[in-house]
A and B are shown apart, each in its own frame.
Chain A
Amino acid sequence: MSTADVLANGDQPPRDEHEVRREAIAWYVRLCSGEATDADRRAWEQWHRHPDHQRAWQRIESIRQSTQRVPAHIAAPTLQAPAKGRRRALKSILLVASTGSLAYVAYRGASDDGVWRSWVAEYRTGVGERRSVMLTDGSRLTLNTDTAVDVSYDATHRLVHLWTGEILIETARDALYADTQGRPFVVETAHGSMRALGTRFTVRMHGARTDVAVLADAVEIRASDLPASPIILQAGQRASFTRSHIEMPRPADDSMAAWEHGSLVVDDWRLGDVIAELDRYRPGRLSCDPAVAGIRISGAFPITDTDKALAVITKSFPVRVTRFTRFWVGVRPL
Chain B
Amino acid sequence: MSVGDLAKTDAVRVLYSDHHRWLQSWLRRKLGCTHSAADLAHDTFVRVLASRDVFGIREPRAYLSTIANGLVTDLFRRRELERSYLEVLASLPEPQMPSPETRALFLETLIAIDAMLDGMKPMVRQAFILSQIEGLTYAEIAARLRVTKRTVANYMAAALEHCYLLAP
Contacts and interface: CB of A to CB of B under 8 A. Distances in A.
Interface of A: 21, 24-26, 28-29, 32-35, 59-60, 62-64, 66-67, 69-70, 72-83, 86-87, 89-90, 93, 99, 101-102, 126-127, 130-132, 282-284, 326-327
Contact of B84 (A63, A78, A130): A78
Given A73-B96, A79-B81, 12 more contacts: A25-B164, A35-B139, A62-B168, A66-B112, A77-B84, A77-B88, A80-B126, A81-B81, A93-B87, A102-B91, A282-B135, A327-B135
27 contacts: A24-B164, A29-B157, A32-B132, A32-B156, A34-B139, A59-B168, A62-B167, A63-B116, A67-B113, A70-B109, A70-B113, A75-B110, A76-B129, A78-B81, A78-B84, A78-B88, A79-B113, A81-B80, A83-B80, A86-B80, A86-B83, A90-B87, A126-B134, A127-B135, A130-B96, A131-B93, A326-B132
B101 to A, nearest CB: 14
**Interface size class for chain B?**
35 or more
B84 A72 contact: no
Q: Give the one of B92, B134, B149 with max A CB within 10 A.
A: B134
Nearest to B122: A82
Contacts of B131: 32
| A26, A34, A93, A283 interface centre (most CB from chain B within 10 Å) | A34
A74 B88 contact: yes
Contacts, number: 134
Nearest to B91: A93
A79 B168 contact: no
A283 B77 contact: no
Interface string B100-118: 0000011001101110110
Nearest to A82: B122
B144 A99 contact: yes
List 5 A-B pairs, minimum CB-CB distance, nearest first. A34-B137, A283-B135, A89-B84, A81-B84, A86-B84
B81 to A, nearest CB: 7
A34 B140 contact: yes
Contacts of A102: 91
A60 B80 contact: no
Contact of B133 (A24, A67, A86, A130): A67
Contacts of A28: 156, 160
Contacts of B85: 74, 78
B13 to A, nearest CB: 36
A82 B148 CA distance: 23
Contacts of B134: 72, 76, 101, 126, 283
A113 to B, nearest CB: 30
B84 A29 contact: no
Given A72-B133, A75-B133, A93 B88 contact: yes
Given A29-B157, A79-B114, A72 B135 contact: yes
Given A25-B157, A74-B89, A89 B83 contact: yes
Contacts of B140: 34
B92 to A, nearest CB: 8
B95 A132 contact: yes
B31 interface: no
A35 B77 CA distance: 36
Contact of B137 (A25, A35, A66, A326): A35
A73 to B, nearest CB: 8
B164 to A, nearest CB: 6
A107 to B, nearest CB: 17
B126 A70 contact: no
Contacts of A32: 131-132, 138, 156
A77 B160 CA distance: 20
Q: Tell which of B84, B126, B131, B161 has the most Cβ of chain A within 10 Å.
A: B84
Contacts of B126: 80
Given A29-B157, A93-B87, A93-B91, A70 B129 contact: no
Interface in B120-151: 122, 126, 129-140, 144, 149
Contacts of A25: 157, 160-161, 164
Contacts of B71: none
Contacts of A26: 157
Contacts of B164: 21, 24-25, 59-60, 63
B49 interface: no
